[in-house]
């Protein structure tokens, strides 16, 4: 048997939650038998470094306690059948093969297909599974619920087929795999989903992929608040996201030409040979106004990730908070991916005791993350409740849209 991945958990969980019981019951009802293997994949919040990953520059996310569970039973053929305890997601079925035709854009089944197709292109004759999914990661909120689904399904295929692959290799493969759904994303979400360490955030560097865990000081609290605006990656937000990736590439090409460095020079190479200030000088002389703003966001955001890492290691909550607020201003003004609700949330948080606050993830809606100390957290949560959520419609309970993120561990697969 091939060596199992680092995500294979040998210790059985001792407490079975109500959610797990419900998942097992739903599996038995759907398939008339019991599930034998479980993959758990966390959501994530990005603390700083947005729209840098696809430019090969660092990010600093952490996994959160909200997760997705995929309960499975192996099949002897290559079929995947998947149902979801949330019945808004209709059952799906397909064959694992090298070219899998996608469902309509936005269909949840595309995230199952994305991982399956990428793995089939590397490994022959993979067997599939029957699965039931349960997730408490808020959907379309910039908390990576879709990556959690793709990763859970990919890990399950690897585990059931005894395929060995290194963590960094799998992270890179899955980052490319998710392009299947049409978004030209970077590798942050797949990497943190797999590699997160408990009680820690991670600095992630790309080319080559490297995760560096940074312990979160015990008195720090990250408050997550949904803007209640759905960041639908399958719709208009996808077009805006992809247009930002094009603009960043175009800006890079023009700046490298102006600097007379070889074609194909990356943002990372540029930044290791010149200061952000020098590069901005070149950008201002070379690029039209929109591209100057995009370029400025990318290089200043990468510097903020370096500074934020130092601030977290030094337990300097005010410095980290200030960097988060600067990041928000840059995403709002230079990258133009914020919205009124996210701006409003950051103002309420910083006005009620948070050291800093920013949108998290791609933007266009989704969540805000605010940093405060354990002493200030109640004041911040109360202010957000009173000034943002009261009087607004939200279908879920308040704790589904406003909660404290606990730095959590990455994905695991186990026998149940």
What DSSP string describes 144-188? Answer: -HHHHHHHHHHHHHHHHTT----HHHHHHHHHHHGGGGT----SH
CB 405 within 8 A of CB 60: no
Active site annotation includes 189:
yes
Choose the catalytic residue: 50, 53, 189, 376. Answer: 189
Binding residues among 114-143 for ligand NG1 as defined by CB under 6 A: 142
244 part of the interface to ligand NG1, by CB under 6 A: no
144 part of the interface to ligand NG1, by CB under 6 A: yes
CB 161 within 8 A of CB 97: no
Q: Total residues contacting ligand NG1 (rule CB under 6 A)? A: 16
User: Smallest gap, in angstroms, from Cβ of residue 44 to ligand NG1?
Assistant: 8
Chain position whose Cβ is nearest to ligand NG1: 185
Closer to ligand NG1 at the Cβ: 206 or 320? 206
111 part of the interface to ligand NG1, by CB under 6 A: no
Residue with tokens 């994530």: 44
194 part of the interface to ligand NG1, by CB under 6 A: no
Element (H, E) at 346: helix 340-351
- Given 37, 51, 297, 358, the residue binding ligand NG1 (CB under 6 A): 51
Closer to ligand NG1 at the Cβ: 160 or 173? 173
Instruction: Give me the 313-342 binding string for ligand NG1, x by CB under 6 A, dash otherwise.
Output: ------------------------------
| 1 SS3 class | coil
How do 356-360 and 200-205 pair as beta strands? unpaired
Q: What angle do CA 132, 133, 134 make, to 5 degrees?
A: 130
301 part of the interface to ligand NG1, by CB under 6 A: no
54 part of the interface to ligand NG1, by CB under 6 A: yes
172 part of the interface to ligand NG1, by CB under 6 A: no
Dmax over CA atoms of the chain, in Å, equals 67
What DSSP string describes 59-108? Answer: BEEEEEEEEEEEEEEE-SSSEEEEEESSTTS--EEEE--SS----STT-T
80, β-bridge pairs = 94, 129
Instruction: Give me the 348-367 binding string for ligand NG1, x by CB under 6 A, dash otherwise.
Output: -------------xx-----
- Catalytic residue annotation: 189
Which residues make up the interface to ligand NG1 (CB under 6 A)?
A: 50-51, 53-54, 142, 144, 147, 178, 183, 185-186, 188-189, 233, 361-362
């Amino acid at each position: 048997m091939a060596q199992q991945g680092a995500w294979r958990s040998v210790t059985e969980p001792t407490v079975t939650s109500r959610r797990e019981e419900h998942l097992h019951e739903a599996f038995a009802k759907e398939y008339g038998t019991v599930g034998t293997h479980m993959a758990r994949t966390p959501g994530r919040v990005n603390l700083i470094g947005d729209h840098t990953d696809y430019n090969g520059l660092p990010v600093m996310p952490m996994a959160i306690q909200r997760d997705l569970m995929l309960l499975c039973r192996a099949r002897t053929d290559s079929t995947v059948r998947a149902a979801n305890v949330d019945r808004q997601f209709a059952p799906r079925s397909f064959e694992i093969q090298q070219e899998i035709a996608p469902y309509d854009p936005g269909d949840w089944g595309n995230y199952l297909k994305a991982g399956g197709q990428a793995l089939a292109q590397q490994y022959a004759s993979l067997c599939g599974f029957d699965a039931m999914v349960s997730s408490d990661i808020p959907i379309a909120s910039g908390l990576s619920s879709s990556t959690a689904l793709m990763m859970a399904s990919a890990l399950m295929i690897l585990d059931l087929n005894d395929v060995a692959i290194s963590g960094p290799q799998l992270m890179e493969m899955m980052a490319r795999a998710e392009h299947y759904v049409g978004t030209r994303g970077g590798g942050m979400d797949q990497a943190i989903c797999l590699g997160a360490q408990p009680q820690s955030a991670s600095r992630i560097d790309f080319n080559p992929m490297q995760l560096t865990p940074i312990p979160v000081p015990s008195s720090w609290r990250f408050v997550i608040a949904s803007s209640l605006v759905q960041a639908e990656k399958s719709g208009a937000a996808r077009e805006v996201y992809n247009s930002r990736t094009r603009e960043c590439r175009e800006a890079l090409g023009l700046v490298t030409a102006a600097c007379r460095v070889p074609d194909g020079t990356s943002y990372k190479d540029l930044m290791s040979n010149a200061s952000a200030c020098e590069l901005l000088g070149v950008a201002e002389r070379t690029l039209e106004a929109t591209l100057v703003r995009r370029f400025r966001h990318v290089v200043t955001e990468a510097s903020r990730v370096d500074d934020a890492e130092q601030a977290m290691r030094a337990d300097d909550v005010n410095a980290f908070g200030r960097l988060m607020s600067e990041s928000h201003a840059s995403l709002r003004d230079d990258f133009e991916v914020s919205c009124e609700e996210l701006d409003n949330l950051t103002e309420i948080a910083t006005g009620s005791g948070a050291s800093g606050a920013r949108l998290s993830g791609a933007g266009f809606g989704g969540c805000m993350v605010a940093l405060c100390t354990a002493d200030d957290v109640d004041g911040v949560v109360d202010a957000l409740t009173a000034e943002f959520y009261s009087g607004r419609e939200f279908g879920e309970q308040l704790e589904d849209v406003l909660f404290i993120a606990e730095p959590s561990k990455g994905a695991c697969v186990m026998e149940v």
